[in-house]
């Protein structure tokens, strides 16, 4: 899809405000940042703000090079019309802005501290707060510069330093020169927050935030040529521009691309399809874009889905709220939760009519019996043929265990924590010899309803209640799992690339699964980052996602699901949702981990815990059937559905903060979902899994199981999944795409 710039004949860019304007004794004023307004004959002006245009007075700003640089920013970031002219007079000139700042009768130079006086006052403020300096002269000069650039008083800058000092847990009371670079970034973040809070409709763009930088495939470079009002094209410096920032300073920090690219930016295979399923070749696999001309001018060329996506989350009434207490579970809580799982399976198997009532497997009997219990390993280490134990429920055997012998079975797949039904006999009372193993919860049975309808929480407050049609609607989605930045930096280049791809593909639903601020990233582990973990999530992740949602329009929906690897979130599983600001919740939502969603009537189950890898390390299987398939990834994924649990493994894998005191029922899968998303370090896949022992269509249940892989792998890119769902799990088009 190629973006076509809009052409307007009466488009005007005005200087609306020049902030931090400081007069100098020479009478020449300088400004740090500008705020502009774009308007045309048919539309009211919209304000925007670029810190990149800095250190220019009014005349310098209107120079040809500065004008070209600003319009380049407008074209790249907002896809502005190519014909843009300047108004003759700014609505609020720098001189007017200066006079407003000094409207209390002070002259231009009166009341302004000299550099030396300001240095002295700043030094006194620091000393009053108990701080000293290692290089006083250089530090005070820099602090004066900060005061001038950000319009701060000496007391303000010392207060900001105290906040920075406490947040970073700095040692000692000596202000070191090398710490001022981090302090500068802290001041810049404070200024951005002040601007945003002052005008909610104003978005602050920095060079790192610009994520729409001339299509990485260079498709529309020739069309993004600026034109003068008379229609003649100005020549642009045609260099290959990538969506990936070149350095921390960004593409426009110096006006030219940096010579030093990151390894991710130098990758050669971009958006290559690694695997695809095309069950519906005659169906359109991408949402069409309405290219009809609009009578009214638009600021940005926005492409929107033809139809919005309704969303409802199940399971939010389980107490998984932000800031909830966790890791308070007791042994009794764990035992009761596991016993309840066994009892649910026993009742469901008996209710199906296919099996007898479960009995005590520890009682000696020459007759064939049917027992239900949980698989355990006898001792440390992994399961083997000689270490399998079966623990029945308290009601059936008082929770006692018996050795389980599976030598008569030609095919099975078991793991610790799995609830199974066993047909067999126990002649001695010490060993249950199995003749049949049932490892699946009956398809006809349902666990207690997830939530009564009144407690279902609609993720979109601006939509009507979901249409209760029995047939799911079509749904297009892009699914990705973190990490979202490479191991050599925290630039979040893969996330930027993914969002740019999503803008071109226009999915109804974008599902982003954690980790976002990966606790396993080397910089996070060492604690060398200048921002807090919450600030990284807010400025590097949430702001990019917000820009995507604003670009796509009100019909776009984004889900952010946390992971236990997120350094900025609760280390517990099940895990509460992210606390998303209320003004973003109409388009950006965060469900708990794990959860079941309904999107256009399609049930989607998600869990960011790597249960596939954990099961892979604990599974014991045998397959002696001739001609039998051995699709291990499908087998691992089917365990989740057959056990009706997002995490059926017990004891959990090392490092998993499984907490039964929070909401053990949050791990239950009440019904077979249409789509099951299980991000994992194992190989990416999209598979349609059939459940049930019968061969007819009515006796089978199908589910699309998805592992999108990791979006970033080492210093390079990973994979994500693009999925189009047409009402049934066997009617999909899907692709695994490398970033």
Within 168-249, residue ranges assigned H as helices are 180-198
Report the candidate in 300, 252, 212 with the shortest Cα–Cα distance to residue 11: 300
Evaluate the omega torsion of the peptide bond into residue 163 and state whether it is cis, within 30 degrees of 0: no
- Section 182-186 average pLDDT: 87
Burial pattern 276-314, b for ≥16 Cβ within 10 A else e, equals ebeebeeeebebeeeeeeeeebebbbebbbeebbbbbbb
Calpha distance 3→293 (Å, rounded): 14
**pLDDT single digits (tens) 642-697:** 999 999 999 999 999 998 877 778 899 988 999 999 999 999 999 999 987 554 44
| CA-only gyration radius of the chain, Å | 31
pLDDT at 88: 34
**pLDDT single digits (tens) 98-152:** 333 333 333 333 334 567 888 989 999 999 888 999 889 999 999 998 988 888 8
**pLDDT single digits (tens) 593-633:** 999 999 999 999 999 999 999 999 999 998 866 555 568 99
* Average pLDDT of the residues of the chain: 75
**Which range (222-226, 412-416, 644-648) has the least confidence?**
222-226
Q: Do residues 722 and 507 make contact, with C-beta atoms less than 8 angstroms apart?
A: yes
Query: CB neighbours of 52 closer than 8 A, spacing ≥ 6?
Result: 69, 73, 205, 206, 207, 252, 253
pTM recorded for the entire structure: 0.65
3-state helix, strand, coil in the chain (%, to 5): 25, 25, 50
Calpha distance 304→506 (Å, rounded): 7
- Section 581-591 average pLDDT: 89
Calpha distance 563→16 (Å, rounded): 43
Calpha distance 404→390 (Å, rounded): 6
CA distances from 596 to 283, 310, 659 (A): 27, 14, 19
Residue showing tokens 């202000």: 175
Calpha distance 157→159 (Å, rounded): 5
Calpha distance 470→394 (Å, rounded): 40
**pLDDT single digits (tens) 467-512:** 444 556 799 999 999 999 999 999 999 999 999 999 999 999 999 9
Pairing of strands 712-713, 719-725: unpaired
Q: Do residues 544 and 499 make contact, with C-beta atoms less than 8 angstroms apart?
A: yes
Query: CB neighbours of 33 closer than 8 A, spacing ≥ 6?
Result: 18, 19, 20, 49, 50, 51, 53, 54
| pLDDT of 191 higher than 70 | yes
Query: CB neighbours of 272 closer than 8 A, spacing ≥ 6?
Result: 737, 738
């Amino acid at each position: 899809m190629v973006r076509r710039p809009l052409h307007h004949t009466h488009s005007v860019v005005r200087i609306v405000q020049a902030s931090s304007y400081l007069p100098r004794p020479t009478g020449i004023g300088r400004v740090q940042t500008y705020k502009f307004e774009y308007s045309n004959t048919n539309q009211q002006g919209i304000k925007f703000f670029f810190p990149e245009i800095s250190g220019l007075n009014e005349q310098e700003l209107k120079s040809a090079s500065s004008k070209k640089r600003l319009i380049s920013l407008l074209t790249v970031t907002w896809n502005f019309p190519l014909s843009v002219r300047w108004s003759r007079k700014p609505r609020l000139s720098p001189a007017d802005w200066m006079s407003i700042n000094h409207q209390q009768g002070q002259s231009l130079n009166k009341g302004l501290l000299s550099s030396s006086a300001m240095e002295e006052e700043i030094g006194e403020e620091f000393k009053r707060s108990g701080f000293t300096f290692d290089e006083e002269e250089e530090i005070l000069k820099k602090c004066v510069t900060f005061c001038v650039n950000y319009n701060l008083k000496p007391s303000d800058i010392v207060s900001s330093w105290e906040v920075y000092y406490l947040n970073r847990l700095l040692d000692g009371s000596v202000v070191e020169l090398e710490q001022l670079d981090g302090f500068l970034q802290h001041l810049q973040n404070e200024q951005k927050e002040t601007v945003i809070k002052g005008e909610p409709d104003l978005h602050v763009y920095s060079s790192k935030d610009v994520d729409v930088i001339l299509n990485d495939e260079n498709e529309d470079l020739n069309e993004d040529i600026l034109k003068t009002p008379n229609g003649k094209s100005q020549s642009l410096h045609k260099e290959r521009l990538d969506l990936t920032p070149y350095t921390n300073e960004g593409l426009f920090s110096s006006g030219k691309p940096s010579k030093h690219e990151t390894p991710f930016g130098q990758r050669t295979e971009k958006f290559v399809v690694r695997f695809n399923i095309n069950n519906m070749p005659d169906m359109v696999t991408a949402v069409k874009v309405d290219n009809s001309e609009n009578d009214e001018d638009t600021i940005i060329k926005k492409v929107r889905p033809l139809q919005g996506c309704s969303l409802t989350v199940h399971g939010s009434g389980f107490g998984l709220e932000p800031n909830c207490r966790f890791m308070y579970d007791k042994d009794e809580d764990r035992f009761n939760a596991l016993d309840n799982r066994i009892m649910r399976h026993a009742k469901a198997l008996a209710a199906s009519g296919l099996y007898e009532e479960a009995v005590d497997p520890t009682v000696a009997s020459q007759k064939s019996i049917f027992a239900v219990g949980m698989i355990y390993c006898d001792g440390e280490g992994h399961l083997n043929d000689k270490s399998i134990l079966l623990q029945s429920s308290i009601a059936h055997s008082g929770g006692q265990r018996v050795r389980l012998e599976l030598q008569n079975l030609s095919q099975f797949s078991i793991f610790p924590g799995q609830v199974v039904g066993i047909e067999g006999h126990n002649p001695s009372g010490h060993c249950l010899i199995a003749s049949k193993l049932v490892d699946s919860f009956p398809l006809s049975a349902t666990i207690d309803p997830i939530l009564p309808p009144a407690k279902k929480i609609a993720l979109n407050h601006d939509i009507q209640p979901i249409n209760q049609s029995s047939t799911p609607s079509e749904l297009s989605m892009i699914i990705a799992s973190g990490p979202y930045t490479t191991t050599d930096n925290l630039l979040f280049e893969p996330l930027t690339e993914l969002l740019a791809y999503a803008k071109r593909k226009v999915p109804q639903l974008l599902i982003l699964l954690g980790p976002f601020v990966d606790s396993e990233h080397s910089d996070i582990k060492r604690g060398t980052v200048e921002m807090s973990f919450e600030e990284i999530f807010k400025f590097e992740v949430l702001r990019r996602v917000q820009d995507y949602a604003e670009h796509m329009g009100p019909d776009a929906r984004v889900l952010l699901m946390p992971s236990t690897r997120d350094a900025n979130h609760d280390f517990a599983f099940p895990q509460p949702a992210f606390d998303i600001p209320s003004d973003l919740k109409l388009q950006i939502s965060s469900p708990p981990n794990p959860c079941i969603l309904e999107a256009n009537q399609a049930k989607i189950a998600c869990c960011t815990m790597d249960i596939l890898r954990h099961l892979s390390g604990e599974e014991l299987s045998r397959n002696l059937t001739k001609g039998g398939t051995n699709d291990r990834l499908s087998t691992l994924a089917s365990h989740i559905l057959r056990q009706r649990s997002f995490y059926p493994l017990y004891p959990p894998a090392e490092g998993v903060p499984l907490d039964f005191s929070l909401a053990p029922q949050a791990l239950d899968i009440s019904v077979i979902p249409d789509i099951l998303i299980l991000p994992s370090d194992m190989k990416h896949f999209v598979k349609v899994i059939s459940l049930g022992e019968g061969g007819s269509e009515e006796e089978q249940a199908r589910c699309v199981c998805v592992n999108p892989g990791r979006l970033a792998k080492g210093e390079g890119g990973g994979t994500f999944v693009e999925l189009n769902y047409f009402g049934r799990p066997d009617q999909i088009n899907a692709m695994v795409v490398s970033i």
